[in-house]
Structures are given as structure tokens and as C-alpha cells.
Amino acid sequence: MSLLIIREAATKVIEGYAAFADAQPEIPWRSMRGMRNRIAHGYLAINRDVAWDTVQTALPALLQQLPAAQRDADDSHSLPDAS
């Protein structure tokens, strides 16, 4: 179920914050959305090897990339210094 949530969040970023997603090319937004669609809709059944690789390799890599993306998001929303 967690993979579905991650993929749904990626879809929301792509659709609602396209410029942000484009500015973070190291994060595989579209691949995450595609995985979500395959899981949610069961397109031609789920390849367990791909799902396992996602959990073992892609997810840990994503967890390392997200803090930098969050900092970029925070920086882009911060106000200029008033002094």
C-alpha cells in the first residue's frame, strides 16, 4: 500500500507543481507514477522482481534524494530578506 501512496504523491507533484518536478530531474517522478498505475490497475499483473527491486533499490535512493528536493522547495517559497 505504501508504494501506492508514494506514487499518488508523485502524480500530484507532476500535475500540480510541474516546474518543481522538472527542477528535480534526479527524482523519477514519471516512473513512480507509472508504477502506481501498474499496481492500482493491475496492468498485465505485477512483476514481483520489479516490485522487489523498487523496494530494495529505488526506494532507498529516493529517500536520500528527497531532503535536497525539500530544501529546494523551501528555498523557492522563502521570502526575500526585508533588511
| Domain regions of the chain by residue span | 2-75
Q: How do residues 35-69 score in pLDDT, each as one tens digit?
A: 766 776 665 567 778 778 888 888 888 989 989 88
Maximum average pLDDT range among 13-22, 30-39, 67-76:
13-22
- Residue 3: CB atoms within 10 A of its CB come to 18
Sorting pLDDT into bands at 50, 70 and 90, what band is 12? very high
| Residue entry with cell 522487489 | 52
In this prediction the pTM is 0.67
Q: If we measure between CA atoms, which residue out of 1, 2, 15, 8 comes closest to residue 37? A: 8
Is residue 81 predicted with pLDDT exceeding 50?
no
